[in-house]
Amino acid sequence: MSTSPPSPDNAPPTNRPVAAALRGQPAEDGAGVRLTRVFQARAAMNLDPFLMLDEFASDQADDYIAGFPSHPHRGFETVTYMLEGHMLHEDHLGNQGHLRDGDVQWMTAGRGIIHSEMPQQQEGRMRGFQLWINLPAAEKMKPAAYRDIPAAQIPRAELANGGWVKVIAGSTPDANGQIVHGPIQGLSTEPVYLHAHLTAGAPWQTPVPSGHTALVYVADGEVLIDGRTLHQGWAGVLGQGAQVALTAGSEGADVLLLAGKPLREPIVQYGPFVMNTREEIEQALRDYSQGTLTGV
Ligand code: MN
pLDDT tens, residue by residue, 28-73 = 998 888 999 999 876 556 799 999 999 998 888 888 888 899 999 9
The amino acid present at 244, given as its one-letter code, is: V
State yes or no: pLDDT of 112 exceeds 70: yes
Instruction: Give residue 2's pLDDT band: very low, low, confident or very high (50, 70, 90).
Output: very low
Stated length of the chain: 296
Which whole-number Å values give the CA distances from 130 to 1, 52, 54, 248, in the listed order?
27, 8, 5, 24
Q: What is the model's pTM?
A: 0.93
How far is ligand 1, taken at its centre, from the CA of residue 216, in Å?
23
How far is ligand 1, taken at its centre, from the CA of residue 39, in Å?
16
In angstroms, rounded to a whole number, what is the distance separating the alpha carbons of residues 57 and 83?
9
Eight-class DSSP state of 124: S
How far is ligand 1, taken at its centre, from the CA of residue 261, in Å?
23
In angstroms, rounded to a whole number, what is the distance separating the alpha carbons of residues 136 and 260?
12
In angstroms, rounded to a whole number, what is the distance separating the alpha carbons of residues 266 and 275?
8
Task: Indicate the range of 8-17, 47-56, 189-198 predicted with least confidence.
Answer: 8-17
* Mean pLDDT computed over 95-112: 95
How far is ligand 1, taken at its centre, from the CA of residue 73, in Å?
7
Asked if 72 and 55 count as a contact pair (C-beta separation under 8 A), the reply is no
* Mean pLDDT computed over 215-236: 97
Task: Indicate the range of 11-15, 16-20, 136-140, 181-185 predicted with least confidence.
Answer: 11-15
How far is ligand 1, taken at its centre, from the CA of residue 68, in Å?
7
How far is ligand 1, taken at its centre, from the CA of residue 204, in Å?
33
Asked if 14 and 239 count as a contact pair (C-beta separation under 8 A), the reply is no
How far is ligand 1, taken at its centre, from the CA of residue 69, in Å?
9
How far is ligand 1, taken at its centre, from the CA of residue 108, in Å?
11
The three-state secondary structure class of 92 is coil
Report pLDDT for 161: 86
